Amino acid sequence: MLMARSEGVIGCETCGLAQRAEPKSAHMVCTRCGATMHFRKPDSISRTWALLIASYVLIIPANLMPVMATGSLFGTEKDTIFGGVVYLWTSDSEVLAIILFCASIIIPFAKLFSLSFLLITVQRGSTWNPRLRARLYRMVEAIGRWSMIDVYVATMLTALVQFGNLMNIRAGAGAIAFATVVVLTIFAAKSFDPRLIWDAVDRSESNHSTSEELHV
Amino acid sequence: MSDTSKGPELPDLPVAIGQAKRRWAPQIIWIIPIIAVLVGLGLIYKAVVERGPTITVSFKTGDGLVAGKTSVKYKEVDIGLVKAVVLSEDHQQVIATIQLNKDAADFAKEDTRYWIVRPRITANGVSGLSTLLDGPFIAADLGKATEKQEHFIALEVPPILTGETPGREFILRAPTLGSHNVGTPVYFRRIPVGQVIAHDLDKDGKNVSIKIFINSPYEQYVTNNSRFWNATGIDVTLNTSGIQVQTESLIAVLAGGIAFEAPDALDANPNASAKTDAFLSEKAKQDKVFNLFPTREVAMKQPDARAQRFVINFKQSVRGLLVGAPVEFRGVNMGEVVSIEVAMDPQTFEVIQPVEIYIYPDRLQVRSIKTGKLLPPPKDELARLRALLAKGFRAQLNTGSYLTGQKFIALDFFPGAPKYTLDASRVPLEIPAVPSELDDVEKSLASVVKRTDKMMKKLDEQVLPQFDKTLKNVNAITESDSPLLLDMRDSLRELTKAAASVKTLTDMLDQQPQSLIFGKPSQESK
């Protein structure tokens, strides 16, 4: 299989112009648009792991600490994400509860697990169902920013609902952790190079062919 | 960028620009997870280290207790949070598990008090209003003990005082609680200076102990001779200077109150030595017991530090005499009646009414009649009593009011009273009684009645039959056929005849005066 890398050809990721790689320098910019170009994202796996581990660490306080502190005449209420889900569920807003549960709990965790799965498979050079994994990655990338809704809601409310003693909302430490998790996972997804999925497949295929050739 | 065309002979592609850019080491990215881990560890450390002890507090009711919401406050600062609210095993109580903050670990002590703050409206004001909106919270009052404790029983009512309030506690003893309650204010010169913090029935059930707290700096005005009285009512006195109305503040009138004051005239009691004077004006110690008087007037009476008990054996009815009735000497109150009984001697069957009295000997001033100077009291009071008794010192039952029939005991000198020798071994000492004035009057009246009775009897037995006889005689005389009457009639007739003769004589003499000398003339010469 012909691969751009093996032929020394590199495509600009921004403007799409194919060009010949400068073999001496590791760092290249597009001749046309000046964007940085890589054959593969540099240190993709370790970077993604680093961001992912940071996310794993921070998702714990994000879920355990209060996201919002609602102060009103009726006292201060501190709510964690899960507390909010439970509150919505018990107050007969099951649909909202499901949406919040998906957006704020399932998606971040799913992202973390998906990225971990992708990283592990890439590192092990797995050839298992690369198409599915590529789709998984696209989903992770697309869906990642949706989790920011929670953070946006919290920040908007904090900014808008400031009526002194009557009612005020403060963002809790959990919100910061949660926002950090979301941002870190977005970066992690960004730093992961999906081409690595196919590299392994290619390698195994070429190995296969060479071994076949050797045998034959 | 896959190109299907095979081979390196690709069309003339431009060559990418190589750039020698200084790049960060790829490991720099690991700073992010390291920071994340540090932050996470920091949070864990904070959670673990700043976590104070967990305590349980049992409440009668879980009204308003919400797990995870209800906070524990001390001086309006959160010191903990209710983590769980469960029923006790016997379902009698509600047990709240409270997670205290690290800096509030001291609150897990033996004598720390917990109670629920709810809105309370009393006569003295409104408290806990903020809880109307916030919902109740648990308030704590830090104890002083060093013993740690994990389970607490919440107070039913908020304590009036929290541990750090400066001031002093005193105990008042009163026969009844009256209208006092926890929170009843205590006034000093009409300034509210403290309040009732507790009341309790004595073990014997005879008195009520009222615990009061005087806030600093007013506790210095509570001296050993301070008098406390009920400042509840309106005291109206009518005297020669008009009507005087004495009240404490209107709130005290409505809600009750206790007032205190030290009698300022210390010199009025010359018997007290300088040492006792100093003691009396000294600041009272914590938990000193005072008596609670019903009114200011009673409270401010001269202190009767000493009371001597005497007995008076009356041999007459003591109806109208009540326990507490005054014992007066020539109209001056000297004491009061303590008990009234009736006793009988088993041998002689003589019945007496022993009346026990208190006499406050200090009310009897000792002063020289000549100079008017106050003198120290006599050392030997028994000798004094003997001397007084020898002079005729006696007790007498007197009527205080003829309208109500109330009686009092009057002490006075009755020089004519029968001699009495004091038996010093008897306890209490006896003051002999003399019959009361009214008694004398009654006696003489009775004797008069008796005499009259006797006279009447005599009259009835001796005089009346004779009188009857006389009457009969008279009757016999005056009957129409009685000889006496007939005789009288004859005599009267004779008398009339005689009178007519005399008239004839006088007529003839009038016409013929010479006939007296010449005699009666003949018919023809007429």
Specify whether B204 is located in the same domain as B126: no
ipTM of the complex in this document: 0.80
B428-481 tens-digit pLDDT: 888 888 887 766 677 788 888 999 998 888 888 888 888 888 998 888 877 777
Angle between helix axes A107-123 and A44-64 (nearest 10 degrees) is 150
Say which residue, B517 or A64, is predicted with more confidence: A64
Residues A105-129 have pLDDT tens digits of: 888 899 999 999 999 998 888 888 8
- Tell which of B373, B407, B435 closes a domain: B435
Please judge whether A51 and B4 are an interchain contact, meaning their C-beta atoms are less than 8 angstroms apart: no
Nearest to B322 by CA among B307, B335, B339: B339
What does the pLDDT average to over B20-40? 79
Residue ranges of domains in chain A: 1-39, 43-215
Of B10-24, B208-222, B247-261, the range with the highest mean pLDDT is B208-222
* Contact criterion met (CB < 8 Å) for A24 and B1: no
Torsion of CA B472, B478, B479, B481, to 10 degrees: 130
Say yes or no to pLDDT of B57 above 60.
Answer: yes
Give the mutation candidate from A13, A14, A27 for the B interface (greatest B CB count, under 10 A): A27
Q: pLDDT tens across B137-195, in order?
A: 888 888 777 888 888 888 877 776 666 678 888 888 888 887 787 778 888 888 888 88
Angle at A157 between CA A153 and CA A161, to 5 degrees: 170
- Per CB-CB distance under 8 Å, the chain B contacts of A75 are 69, 133-135
Pairing of strands B407-413, B326-329: parallel
Q: B81 in the Ramachandran plot: left (φ > 0), alpha (ψ -120 to 50) or beta?
A: beta
- Whether A50 and chain B come into contact, CB under 8 Å, resolves to yes
Please say which residue of B250, B278, B299 terminates a domain: B299
Residue B192 within a domain: yes
A 74-113: CB under 8 A from B = 74-75, 77
Same domain, B248 and B318: no
- The residues facing A197 across adjacent strands are none
Does some domain include residue B251? yes
Mean pLDDT over the full length of chain B:
80
A79 min Cα distance to partner chain B (Å): 10
Question: Is residue B465 assigned to a domain?
Answer: no
A127 touches chain B (CB under 8 A): no
* Strand B429-430, strand B407-413: pairing: unpaired
In a domain, B75, yes or no: yes
pLDDT score recorded for residue A209: 67
**Residues B149 and B253 both lie in one domain:** no
Q: Are residues B176 and B213 in the same domain?
A: yes
- The pLDDT score that the predictor gives to residue B161 is 67
Would B383 be classed as within a structural domain? yes
B342-381: per-residue pLDDT in tens?
888 888 888 888 899 988 877 777 787 887 777 777 777 7
How far apart are the two ends of chain A, measured CA to CA in Å? 19
Residues of chain A with Cβ-Cβ distance to B35 below 8 Å are: 54
Q: Is the pLDDT of residue B247 over 70?
A: no
What residues of A are in contact with residue B18 (Cβ under 8 Å)? 22, 24-25, 27-28
Residue B350 placed within a domain: yes
**What's the structural domain count of chain B?**
4
Pairing of strands B17-18, A28-29: antiparallel
Contact B135 A60 (CB under 8 A): no
Residues B148 and B174 in one domain: no
Find out whether the peptide bond into B263 is cis, omega within 30 degrees of 0.
Answer: no
- When pLDDT is cut at 50, 70 and 90, the band that residue B330 belongs to is confident
Asked if B285 and B312 sit in the same domain, the reply is no
Q: What are the strands, taking DSSP E only, across B345-392?
A: 351-359
Mean pLDDT, rounded, for A150-161: 84
| DSSP assignment of B454-504 | HHHHHIIIIIHHHHHHHHHHHHHHHSTT-HHHHHHHHHHHHHHHHHHHHHH
Mean pLDDT in residue range B303-309 = 73
User: Measuring CA to CA, which residue among B211, B115, B219 is closest to residue B162?
Assistant: B115
With residue A57 as reference, give the H or E element that holds it.
helix A44-64
Please, which pLDDT band fits residue B9 given cuts at 50, 70 and 90? Answer: low
Higher pLDDT among residues B5 and B131, named by residue: B131
B18–A10: do the CB atoms touch at under 8 Å?
no
Say if the Cβ atoms of A2 and B10 lie within 8 Å: no
Q: Tokens in use for B171?
A: 């105990």
Tens of pLDDT, residues B377-425: 777 778 888 888 888 888 888 887 777 778 888 888 888 778 888 888 8
Q: Which of B9, B15, B24, B73 to mutate to test the interface with A (most CBs of A within 10 A)?
A: B15
Does domain A43-215 correspond to CATH entry 3.40.630?
A: no
**Separation in Å, CA of B53 to nearest CA in chain A:** 20
Specify whether B429 is located in the same domain as B368.
yes
Per-residue model confidence as pLDDT tens digits over B489-506: 899 999 999 999 999 988
Residue where a domain stops, chosen among B299, B324, B346: B299
pLDDT value of residue B4: 45
Entry pTM = 0.52
Q: Is residue B269 part of a domain?
A: yes
Please state the rounded mean pLDDT for residues B79-102. 88
d(CA B207, CA B310): 25
Q: Which residues constitute the domain of residue B387?
A: 308-435
Q: Is A15 at the interface with chain B, CB within 8 A?
A: no
Closest CA–CA distance from residue B39 to any residue of chain A (Å): 8
Can you give the pLDDT at residue B136? Answer: 81
3-class DSSP state of B121 = strand
What is the average pLDDT across A157-175? Answer: 84
